[in-house]
Amino acid sequence: MRDGELECLGLAARQLGVVSRDQALRWLSPQQVARRVASRAWESFLPRVYRIEGTPRTWLQKLKALSLWAGRGYAFSHETAAGLHCFDRFVEGPLVVSVTRHLSPPQWAWGEVELHRVSSLGSADLETVQGLRTTSATRTLIDLAAVATDDDLRAAVDQALQRKWTSVERLALALEPRRGACGKRGVTSLRGLVRRYQGGDGPSESELEARIFELLLASGLPMPVRQRVIRVAGGVRRIDFLFEDFGVVLEADGYAYHSSAIAFEKDRQRYNSLTARDFKVLQWTWEAIHERADQLMRELAVVLASRFIENRGDGDTRFSAVT
């Protein structure tokens, strides 16, 4: 094998097994490229993009091939960008590319490619994620607002804020009319979420919390405040869900969401101290919300009704949040 072909294959290896025609012609002649395609050593993966036979077929390989095909003025966006950013509900999703020039979707046996024509892709809208040009987390949330369900959008915003991929301030700024988002589908829903967070209703810290919040929204019961800081037993505690008028605490409880056994034990101590201060503490697990959600809601309704009767008119202030 000649040095030129070794160089070409080395580049393909660094690119997840794909190489563009223009790249290959740095070392090989058009005839040599044609022979490799004819012998099926190389597969015509996309127009002017080849896949080296024997390399693993993966979602990331498809994206790398698409990036070589698009060439310039592009970024992976919408569900694809969400998958690259590792949003929990958008894993290896559809193939979606935003482009600033006219391109026709390629005919490809490995999945339909959806192209979005946009006027510009500024540097503030772009990041490099897993070696691929991708819309930023903030821009991705705006794009998701047009295609995701309300529940999935809320969970994505929660996750992005909790992991500090964006901030309420950056989202609010990106949603200003002068930024061009006003005409995008779904922006009204996203603005509503941002307004709630600006009012202090903080994001969920896990997918489990997001699922619990969806159940509460659909229940018709009084809504809790999320991630509220309270004083209890001489200390400050952050509560997943607090029904302030009832003295009821609802915690998303799962070992997977604790960083260590020590953290898990500290949470047990917290629950005990809350109970000692006369809070009613409920703990909902992932298994419980999937297997007996209706029962959990009935139990919560009973607890809220009972606590309302107990606390009505007694002037108790121990459930007050830190201000």
Residue 317, pLDDT score: 42
> CA torsion sign, 150 to 78 to 138 to 146?
negative
Pairing of strands 225-232, 235-243: antiparallel
Give pLDDT < 50 ranges for the chain.
Answer: 255-261, 315-323
> CA torsion sign, 279 to 280 to 283 to 284?
negative
Closest of 19, 142, 126, 124 to residue 76, by C-alpha: 126
Domains of the chain in start order, with CATH, are 3-53 (no CATH), 60-198 (no CATH), 207-311 (3.40.960.10)
Pairing of strands 113-117, 280-284: unpaired
Fill in the DSSP letter of residue 163.
T
